[in-house]
Amino acid sequence: MLSHYLCEYAWLPDGIHADVLIAIENGKIVRAEPAGWVDDHIAKLSGLTVPGFANAHSHAFHRALRGRTHMGRGSFWTWREQMYQVADRLDPDSYHRLARAVYAEMALAGVTCVGEFHYLHHAPGGKPYANPNAMGEALVAAAAEAGIRITLLDTVYLQASVDGQPLAGPQLRFGDGSLDGWWNRFDQLSAQPHSMIGAALHSVRAVPTDVMTDFAELTGGLPTHAHVAEQVDEVAACRAAYGCTPTELLDRHGVLQETFTSVHATHLTKGDIDLMADTYACFCPTTERDLGDGIGPARTLADGAVRLTLGSDSHAVIDLLEEARAVELHERLSAQARGHFTQAELLTAATATGHASLGWPSAGRLAVGARADLVTVSLGTVRTAGIDPAGVLMAAGAADITHVVVDGRVVVADGRHVSIDVARELQEAVCALF
């Protein structure tokens, strides 16, 4: 079925144009160009329409910690203890309810595909559920109900620290015992039309080196992600155990392939950045500042042919517009100078590059042949009224998004999710855990 939209403004691959006609057939864009004459019956999208956002790094259950863990002192490590307490309370039903609401919140924020870095695999104590992928499948079903695509990055998590301490307490839920155990479970996952299966290595803390090469070979060609160099202590522990940085360690074992994403990539050496060329780096600036991680070298990475993507990670904030501008603004704080990224570079990180890193290279552009993911940002709210549309990434937030189309289907209209009462479901799902 053919449908049409007339966009007041649209961000096409060569820049912003007014009065753009977008035609969609079978979930794909078949026309995207400034319109000449159009008839009055075509649906109008008032504001600036951009491609759908990819949220390349998510742990859906962390959303339950929002507004509960940001006060007072502490560190990444003390926050992690609070996160583990929530992890211990989830089962496949409650995780499905929570993730459905979280992914619907993402849809409202213009996210059309999420990369879910999933490690909460088993029941408390580590016993597999009758269906060993019950938790992962709950996430995939939640994304379908929320109307977005998902790449389930099923995660290997085998030990508690670089020196090989065994998993304990809530971490027991994350482990499959061995790489073979992980692979046997992973191999039973299958993709659906809205989903893709990718892999993740949790971190150099959580996976022993003697299985990294096998992991790289098993997962070759798949979207593969790992937390890399988020914390100074993590880098120091890696150096003490292996005499090298996390990036060097992953490179030695063949993990740094073209489909690989380093999540965070905050504390890097020049040598790390050279090794990362032609891979992806996912920045999660709102989480990194919340946890006091530091500011990663975004511009240096981009100059070194590392492809930048964005994620909301712990979901203290779910707003890809905020993540995009934070990459530029954090760079300004660290460099004490302005103007490091063009608006087009930031938008590309939030869209085409993010989707590609999740295994959906045909998404993230308003161009013929691309997946029909459309996000319309109002230019008439108190935040956006009077702005130059080209400055939208520096002015707008998720609350300014009025219309979202995913694979040609309307998911958000007039600022509301078409099938989910998102605030109510978030309230119920989160409060049930406390």
Collapse the DSSP code of 6 into the 3-class scheme (helix H, G, I; strand E, B; otherwise coil) and give the result.
strand
Could you give the CA distance from residue 212 to residue 201 in angstroms, rounded to a whole number? 8
Q: Which two tokens stand for residue 15?
A: 């820049």
Kindly identify the residues of this chain, within the stretch 307-326, that bind Zn ion according to CB under 5 A: 313
Q: What is the DSSP letter of 99?
A: H
Q: Which two tokens stand for residue 111?
A: 């996210």
Tell me which amino acid residue 72 is. Answer: G
Site string for Zn ion, 362-401 (x = CB under 5 A): ----------------------------------------
Beta carbon nearer to Zn ion, 294 or 415 = 294
Are 63 and 102 in contact by the 8 Å Cβ rule? The answer is yes
Kindly state the smallest distance separating residue 66's Cβ from Zn ion, in Å: 15
Site string for Zn ion, 215-254 (x = CB under 5 A): ----------------------------------------
Kindly state the smallest distance separating residue 76's Cβ from Zn ion, in Å: 11
Distance of CA 299 to the CA centre of its chain: 20
Nearest to 293 by CA among 235, 372, 217, 254: 235
Kindly state the smallest distance separating residue 253's Cβ from Zn ion, in Å: 21
Tell me which amino acid residue 98 is. Answer: L
Collapse the DSSP code of 38 into the 3-class scheme (helix H, G, I; strand E, B; otherwise coil) and give the result.
coil
Beta carbon nearer to Zn ion, 176 or 313 = 313
> If residue 48 lies in a helix (H) or strand (E), which one and from where to where?
strand 43-51
> If residue 318 lies in a helix (H) or strand (E), which one and from where to where?
none
Kindly state the smallest distance separating residue 202's Cβ from Zn ion, in Å: 9
Beta carbon nearer to Zn ion, 312 or 343 = 312
Kindly identify the residues of this chain, within the stretch 255-314, that bind Zn ion according to CB under 5 A: 313
Beta carbon nearer to Zn ion, 290 or 313 = 313
Kindly state the smallest distance separating residue 226's Cβ from Zn ion, in Å: 10
Site string for Zn ion, 101-140 (x = CB under 5 A): ----------------------------------------
> If residue 395 lies in a helix (H) or strand (E), which one and from where to where?
none
Kindly state the smallest distance separating residue 227's Cβ from Zn ion, in Å: 5
Beta bridge partners of 5: 22, 43
Could you give the CA distance from residue 121 to residue 139 in angstroms, rounded to a whole number? 11
Kindly state the smallest distance separating residue 310's Cβ from Zn ion, in Å: 13
**Residues taking part in catalysis:** 264, 313
Nearest to 235 by CA among 276, 259, 269: 269
Kindly state the smallest distance separating residue 59's Cβ from Zn ion, in Å: 5
Instruction: Give start and end residues of each alpha helix (H) in 109-211.
Output: 134-146, 179-186
Strand order in the sheet with 409-413: 28-34, 15-25, 2-12, 43-51, 374-377, 401-406, 409-413, 416-417
Collapse the DSSP code of 196 into the 3-class scheme (helix H, G, I; strand E, B; otherwise coil) and give the result.
strand
Collapse the DSSP code of 394 into the 3-class scheme (helix H, G, I; strand E, B; otherwise coil) and give the result.
helix
> If residue 423 lies in a helix (H) or strand (E), which one and from where to where?
helix 422-431
Beta carbon nearer to Zn ion, 233 or 421 = 233
CA-only gyration radius of the chain, Å:
21
Beta carbon nearer to Zn ion, 110 or 115 = 115
Beta carbon nearer to Zn ion, 228 or 401 = 228
Longest pairwise C-alpha distance within the chain: 68
| Residues in binding contact with Zn ion, number by CB under 5 A | 1
Beta carbon nearer to Zn ion, 200 or 398 = 200
Residue nearest to Zn ion according to CB distances in the complex: 313
Q: Residue 89, exposed/middle/buried by CB under 10 A (0-12, 13-18, 19+)?
A: middle
Residues in touch with Zn ion (CB under 5 A): 313
